[in-house]
Structure 1
Amino acid sequence: MIDVQDLSVSFGSGASAKQVVKGVSFSVTKGETLGIVGESGCGKSTVLRSLAGLDRHWTGKVSLSGTEVDKVRTREQMLLTQMVFQDPYGSIHPRHRISRILAEPIRAMDRGKGWDMVAPALEQVGLPTAFADRFPHQLSGGQRQRVAIARALMLEPEIILLDEPTSALDVSVQAEVLNLLADLKEARNLTYVLVSHDLSVIAHMCDRVLVMKAGVFVDELTKDDLYQGRTHHDYSRMLFEASAL
């Protein structure tokens, strides 16, 4: 579903240019959940934004669902992936009702008005259909993130990119959102790329994990490696020791 070859991302130009992703390559099979873990600033969210088409500073080759994509995406290429952002407070328009927030992707892609899809979208993420008339400030953080997940699914993408999807939520609702994502993945045969600094989230969700440090991948871990606490690099070992796993 995803094939990335020699992806590099730099910001700035000349002597002040900063390379934040340094020639990384990886692939993700259909139905797999790949985790990318590392400290803040290591480049993991930049990789995700490049896959989503939000960042155009990259070089290399990116193929999604067998289609090589450009820095500037066509409408068909934009339909391949959707993204769920870290902050459910900032990623949803505060002055729009939930119905408009969910219908917007349908309208933006010229696929109709989208109003008839709002109620089923809310139901699939476990929210009452009456929430369609509410504003984001009338929902809890976990409910807002469920709306963000529903919005990402409106265009029926095959790939969902998850950028720290629970880090802004209370611990009490994190597990609910993660279980929802797992159920949706199974029901729709989705492919996930999940970025997180939380190894407990990674262990719960991911089939395979890439450990990132200073713009490069330094380790690759299987689910069994995660549960056994087995690493192949000193940096990965440090992350494990610093976590609750």
Structure 2
Amino acid sequence: MTDNAPDRVTCAVLIIGDEILSGRTQDTNLRDIARYLGVIGVDLAEARTVSDVLQDIVDALNALRERYDYVITTGGIGPTHDDITADAVAAAFGVELEEHPEIIEMMSKRWGTELNAARRRMARVPVGGALVKNPVQGPPGFTIGNVFTLAGVPSIMRGMLEDVGPRMRGGRPTVSRTVRVEGSGEGVIAAPLEAVAKAHPDMSLGSYPFFSPDGFGSNLVVRSRDPDALAGAVAELIVALKGAGIENVREIEVA
């Protein structure tokens, strides 16, 4: 990462699939994408989940790709009739779909004469698009414009991410530090936390309560792209908390 890296690069995630909205499948891709993007200095700014309805996907995709630097879609690129993500991406960009010869060649080697119409659906890529490598199994994803279209299967999606990251223009990574307050509720820590937050409007300060058999309290997480400024804000927060009569305060390491 260079010193002149842009301050903020943004990305949205569009999760596609009725199975997510129905609760039949629990999504874990959003968590994994958020963690991956944070490491390369890209902010996950918004996430949406839409059903397998073509126009709903097109509308959501167009809104997100206009607003953010990048969009990652997950799901809907399999062989069944309801896997319509490729159709929606092509419609959003106003282009046709075509069978990518590299995918057809790969499929032919794997399935031979069993390369049926359903499997060939997975070879369709919007005209002008490029492939996203799939190091796990099955056909690759694809990218067009600022959109990366990935599989919904978590292990495959994570593999594809490794090819997406190097194509993104990274920003300055966000770093975080955590102050742990034990034995005091959010009502007590709210005022000093708000005061520090107002003094550092370019930072993110969050309060995350915890409850356990050993006691209760909150973890206060401070995030910034400037490590030196972050250290100063954490020191101010500790002083402000102690100034409010809260003594059981300490910074902790979070893996």
Q: Same fold (TM over 0.5)?
A: no
Q: Which has the higher contact order (CA 8 A, sep 6+)?
A: 1
| TM-score, reference length from structure 1 | 0.33
| TM-score, reference length from structure 2 | 0.32
